[in-house]
Structure 1
Amino acid sequence: MPDDFREFFEERTQWTDTDGSGDHTHPHGTADLSDANDEVPLSRRQLRKSHEKRRNQQIIRIVAIVVVVAMVVGLLVFGYTKLKSWRNARERASQALTADYPGPGTGKVEFTVESGEGPAEIGNNLVKADVVKSQAAFTSAVAANNSTLYPGTYELKKHMACADVIAILSDQSKATGFLQVKAGERVSQVIADAAQLSGISADDFNAVINGGGAGILPAEAGGKFEGWFEPGTYNVKNRNSANDIIKEMVDKRVEKLDSLGAPTGADREKMLIIASIAESEVNADEYYGKVVRVILNRQAKNMPLGMDSTVAYGLGTTADKLTDAMLQDASNPYNTRVNTGLPPTPISNPGESAIKAAMNPPEGDWLYFVTVNLTTGETKFATTEDEFWKLRDEYKSSNSNAN
């Protein structure tokens, strides 16, 4: 046990001064305890522990210093980065403000904003057309004013101020050449607008519409375009063919129906017919589904649908112009006041909300509905004929007071 013995020896052995300089020791090497003020010498083990403790304390101090220095350096680097970023942002903002023409501009530039283009792309095209001086200045001005830029063809000038350009591009009334197909519009209205905006003869459009739609319409449409134009914005200004314009609207419709998971074949046409009636009868999303359920419930009971909107469509007029004779004319295949079943085609181009409602209507036993307030469009639904007549009275009272 040499190690244990060594420790035992070191713990009990003291170092003495052998030169007789004043320390009092006994001959056997033990300390003289007669002087209470003399310090007791440390053993080798105690000395070693003392050195280790001092060394550890020094290491801790060094580590702490290193950590503090690293934190200070990190804060300095972070602050410098932030300051640099702030300065760069100010420089970019300053450049954007100065990189702008004073306006009002000269000459004439016909500029088109395509559907789906954002401020950056529009700004880049404006720079290429020499309308604005800087894309950055343009996009900064759009963001600062929270402006909405509309598709269309606009008349601009060269070297315009960004603010003046934005004022024009955010005003839909100044846009030309873009056809807006709205939910609930009939094909006849869409074609009239397309002919006017495109400059293509209305006869060219009507020739396509009356030609059966070969190569354009799907088979389930039965050669009829009603219901098969997708609402949206179409650039018709620079198109040379009525056929191409019509085909684009039909292709968009088919694409939308596929994306919604709409039924195919004859069921798709039936769904469009029902959706078009709902679109034409009410003016709010909350009512579409209930109107669809009324149509389905009446069909289940073999009841005429009784929709004035279908009668009016068959006569090429509007519901407010119908006469009693018109409402009783059974020769009109769209007269659902007299004839049972669905009309032969859709009666408008239904929007997405009406289509979704036709695909998934709510459950209910409603058989009637009345728009009781023509100003607000408020519509109420009933399950019995007695309830229906009460709603009719409410309609008459409400609208006579409004008049």
Structure 2
Amino acid sequence: MAAAAGFWAWQRYTGFADRPLSSLQPDTTLLVERGDSLPVVLRKLRAVGVGEGHQAEWRVLARELGAAGRLQVGEYALSPDMSPRDILIAMRDGRVVRYAFTILPGRNIRELRTALAKADPLRQEAADLDDAALMAALGHPGQHPEGRFLPETYHYTRGDSDLDLLRRAYAAMDKALDEAWAARDPASVLKTPDEMLILASIVEKETGIAGERAQIAGVFERRLAAGMKLQTDPTVIYGLGAAYDGNIRRRDLQTDTPYNTYTRSGLPPTPIAMPGVDALQAVARPADGDALYFVAVGDGSGRHVFSRTLAEHNAAVARYVQRYRQARAAERAAAQAQSTGTGPEAP
């Protein structure tokens, strides 16, 4: 009778340990908080749909798996195909739900902070801090935040804060910048890693074509070496701040700000965006050549025409303006045809 009872208990235990918890709803999550004991976690499991009973089996299973007293803090995803064994192993090993946040190359600090404020379930600790207070909270008082956070995807868990994520992004940028600076061309005109970061941010904003970054970096390097103004529109736009409405006008190019590289020589005082690793590497090793100018092709590809002389550049600009006007005229004609019902899709 004792052997039969033992066999029955073992069957009951193994059946419990490995049977899927079909009472769970899909996409259920459970939060294990600091200080939660096994009985507390079991109460939370019952609250999300795990049936009553089997308390002894849960405890025995937890001891068998070495999970008792070792449940890790975090948010766990539960599903109907998971067994009690699966759940306890996940909690023992800390297989928590991970979320992703991506810093896009070329995003400025204002855009980055707006995106962080919408990231859920990231805890918001920086929302009420201005940029100076933000950098102080990150341990870098007095430093401008622009360009200091490396564009890439960062994973976080429930309970992490925006400051936690920014600390990691700052450290990643520090590492990437150090590596780029160590690999730089010895003949570079750049004097400090900060100058490299500033120029990389301009290169990042000037092109989304990977193959052009080193060429554009070469143009800016040669212009700096020759004492020429950079004359790059993204710096002017950055200087306009919230006043920029999507169009850059001649008066904007002529209005002096610390970031207007049409009115001021050299680099702007800070980066103008978050440069990616590719932009840093392009500035570290700019392409050889003699081009001093570039302008968009104007065919929608995002490519640029590079010129050695001002005359060649002016001709390329004239072609760009012509293409731009033709494209706008075609858009207006198409819109007019659609509104009057004479277009190709009209009945």
Q: Same fold (TM over 0.5)?
A: yes
Alpha carbons of structure 1 residues 260 and 215: separation in structure 2 relative to 1, 3 Å: farther
Corresponding residue for residue 258 of structure 1: 178
| Structure 1 stretches of 4+ moved >3 Å | 153-157, 198-203, 214-219, 239-242, 258-266, 317-320
Structure 1 residue 209 displacement after superposition: 2.7
Alpha carbons of structure 1 residues 224 and 354: separation in structure 2 relative to 1, 3 Å: same
Deviations along 1:140-197, one digit per CA (max 9) or x if unpaired, are: xxxxxxxxxxxxx99884339xxxxxxxxxxxxxx99421101111111111111111
Structure 1 residue 208 displacement after superposition: 6.1
Alignment partner for residue 190 of structure 1, among 112, 121, 126?
112
SS in 2 for 1:235: strand
Q: How many equivalent pairs are there?
A: 249
Does the Cα contact within 8 Å between 2:105 and 2:275 map onto a contact in 1? yes
Corresponding residue for residue 308 of structure 1: 233
Alignment partner for residue 252 of structure 2, among 315, 326, 333?
326
1:398 aligns with 2:320: no
User: In the aligned structure 1, how far is the partner of 2:132 from the partner of 2:110?
Assistant: 11
SS in 2 for 1:106: coil
Does the Cα contact within 8 Å between 2:232 and 2:262 map onto a contact in 1? yes
Amino acid at match of 1:326: D
Corresponding residue for residue 282 of structure 2: 357
Corresponding residue for residue 342 of structure 1: 267
Does the Cα contact within 8 Å between 1:106 and 1:158 map onto a contact in 2? yes
SS in 1 for 2:135: coil
User: In the aligned structure 2, how far is the partner of 1:355 from the partner of 1:267?
Assistant: 13
Alignment partner for residue 211 of structure 1, among 133, 138, 153?
133
Considering Cα pairs closer than 8 Å and 6+ residues apart, tell me whether 1 or 2 has the greater RCO: 2
Deviations along 1:261-303, one digit per CA (max 9) or x if unpaired, are: 5479961110011111111011112111121121122222222
Does the Cα contact within 8 Å between 2:236 and 2:261 map onto a contact in 1? yes
Alpha carbons of structure 1 residues 218 and 381: separation in structure 2 relative to 1, 3 Å: farther
In the TM superposition, 1:1-400 aligns within 5 A as 106-110=25-29, 157-159=79-81, 177-198=99-120, 204-205=126-127, 207=129, 209-211=131-133, 213-214=135-136, 216=138, 223-236=143-156, 238-260=158-180, 262=182, 267-317=192-242, 320-330=246-256, 332-373=257-298, 375-400=300-325
SS in 1 for 2:305: strand
User: In the aligned structure 1, how far is the partner of 2:245 from the partner of 2:200?
Assistant: 18
Deviations along 1:334-377, one digit per CA (max 9) or x if unpaired, are: 00111111000111111111111100111222111001125111
RMSD: 3.7
Larger Rg, first or second structure (1 or 2): 1
Does the Cα contact within 8 Å between 2:125 and 2:163 map onto a contact in 1? no
Does the Cα contact within 8 Å between 2:126 and 2:134 map onto a contact in 1? no
SS in 1 for 2:294: strand
Alpha carbons of structure 1 residues 212 and 194: separation in structure 2 relative to 1, 3 Å: closer
Does the Cα contact within 8 Å between 2:215 and 2:286 map onto a contact in 1? yes
Does the Cα contact within 8 Å between 1:198 and 1:236 map onto a contact in 2? no
Does the Cα contact within 8 Å between 1:217 and 1:225 map onto a contact in 2? no
Does the Cα contact within 8 Å between 1:194 and 1:236 map onto a contact in 2? no
Structure 1 residue 201 displacement after superposition: 7.8
Deviations along 1:12-31, one digit per CA (max 9) or x if unpaired, are: xxxxxxxxxxxxxxxxxxxx
Deviates more, 1:180-189 or 1:311-320: 311-320
Alpha carbons of structure 1 residues 314 and 191: separation in structure 2 relative to 1, 3 Å: same
Unaligned runs of at least 5 residues, structure 2:
1-17, 32-48, 50-74, 83-96, 185-189, 329-347
